[in-house]
Structure 1
């Protein structure tokens, strides 16, 4: 690895069979509006049986041309918490950012995150979630309603990309083996400690009814698991609009999209859970 100054920001990217996605993710990251060096990119391929590792390696030259460090770790076991822990063990940045391998950040995002997390007080930051139009017709309907969900418009969601300074990361030890690692991280900070910057990132949802049901079921299991294992963290959640009046208003704004959303929710309730890994959207 080329010798560079110690990084300001370490970007940890866990990647499990992300061929075709890790390349665009890294290309967007490398297009960041960031002056000079000071960035370290750590791709943690875990349990990959495809070309994720090779695709990540092809971006090393571009990273080093910017004066950035880049490491690509290859773990035999497929485990996102394990990948996060492995990435942190080699990270040298004073700020740690966590990026899903299918997410593409906007050019100003890294710089704004670094500015938001300057100082010694524990802090957490993320950008604005942008859900791009899916290819599948049903998923497009679902996304139209999903974009209205208060979770995306109140507080700092942090799904797919979030960052914290070292003082914030010191609040827990290794990443626990849970489904909803992003929610766990967010709720380790009080609302006033979380900062939403203006720049955004593209956070795709899965394609097709069946895939949406699997993901929604996994999300629900993750929320329930977190509530059982770490109930005290729920006090740090944001207050958001809810109830019948919000649902009626959202349904009137996009009735077909609302029906698509309800169809997925009903299928989740009626079906049985699965331990099969699926993308967390």
Structure 2
């Protein structure tokens, strides 16, 4: 598990063909408020683009900040394998797992470091800001998704979740599953999950077809965790959206509600597609 230094954090960024976005992610990390004993591990996995080279180009800037940057270039793909490789290279017990297409506000990492500097097992994330591309369907879908109780009121950890040393000890290697964020979140009870006031941007895919594809994968990932790890379901506290809340959403934004509902229905009743991962950018 590496050093047990509650003052330090290791940020692990799995990245598969993310050359177009990894630079923006790392630039937001560099712009963050100072964190003592800080390390970033980028795990390029199965890439056919310049993800690793783009990340390596940030080495001097990280060194100037006194922060460590390690870039691993793995020939094989797969996010669980990348997460495990990142864990193996991590120097500190407290971990932040960050998607390569996420950008951070300047306070998130320092606030996470403070929240994780406790003895009790802790799961943490930032305040989620869902960002939609310039696409009609994606913008409409995102308007409703932001207001779903789980996203608006909980600590979903989409694209960014963190655990302290005691929290990371609750599981071993990441299993070969779809939804690593759900798997980790459900290792913690609701009162063990905390959020920073600082925000981070998490992008929605572009276009109706990609929304359906990603939503289908998300749903499969949650069901997979439920089936394989039934003992974790005791920690599931995702609030349901009541009929009244749905009606309010529909009346306030009928186009957005129709788009969001249409995607959900297409996933529920449509053909089951390829389980391979694609953000559809």
Distance 1:239 1:217 in 2: 18
Contiguous gaps of at least 5 residues in structure 2: none
2:168 is equivalent to residue 169 of structure 1: yes
The question of whether the paired residues in 2 share the 8 Å contact of 1:154 and 1:239 is answered with no
1:187-226 equivalences in 2 (<5 Å): 187-226=186-225
How many residues align? The count is 276
The TM-score with structure 2 as length reference comes to 0.94
Distance 2:145 2:133 in 1: 12
The question of whether the paired residues in 2 share the 8 Å contact of 1:14 and 1:83 is answered with yes
Q: Which moved more, 1:5-14 or 1:122-131?
A: 5-14
Give a deviation string over 1:135-157, Cα, whole Å, max 9, x none: 11111111111111111122211
Distance 1:172 1:166 in 2: 11
Contiguous gaps of at least 5 residues in structure 1: none
Distance 1:100 1:157 in 2: 14
Q: CA RMSD in A?
A: 1.7
Partner of residue 32, structure 2? 32
Partner of residue 55, structure 1? 54
2:113 is equivalent to residue 104 of structure 1: no
1:12 positional shift: 0.2
The question of whether the paired residues in 2 share the 8 Å contact of 1:136 and 1:208 is answered with yes
1:271 positional shift: 2.3
1:56 positional shift: 0.5
Distance 2:60 2:200 in 1: 24
1:265 positional shift: 1.6
The question of whether the paired residues in 2 share the 8 Å contact of 1:81 and 1:177 is answered with yes
1:238 positional shift: 2.2
1:258 positional shift: 0.6
1:277 positional shift: 1.9
Distance 1:10 1:155 in 2: 24
1:245 positional shift: 1.6
Q: Which moved more, 1:245-254 or 1:192-201?
A: 245-254
- Structure 1 runs (4+) deviating above 4 angstroms are none
Distance 1:154 1:27 in 2: 29
1:96 positional shift: 0.6
The question of whether the paired residues in 1 share the 8 Å contact of 2:7 and 2:117 is answered with no
The question of whether the paired residues in 2 share the 8 Å contact of 1:7 and 1:94 is answered with no
The question of whether the paired residues in 1 share the 8 Å contact of 2:6 and 2:165 is answered with no
1:280 positional shift: 9.1
1:239 positional shift: 4.7
1:275 positional shift: 2.1
Partner of residue 130, structure 2? 131
C-alpha distance 101-176 of structure 1, shift in aligned 2 (>3 A): same
C-alpha distance 156-62 of structure 1, shift in aligned 2 (>3 A): same
1:65-80 equivalences in 2 (<5 Å): 65-80=64-79
1:6 positional shift: 11
2:12 is equivalent to residue 12 of structure 1: yes
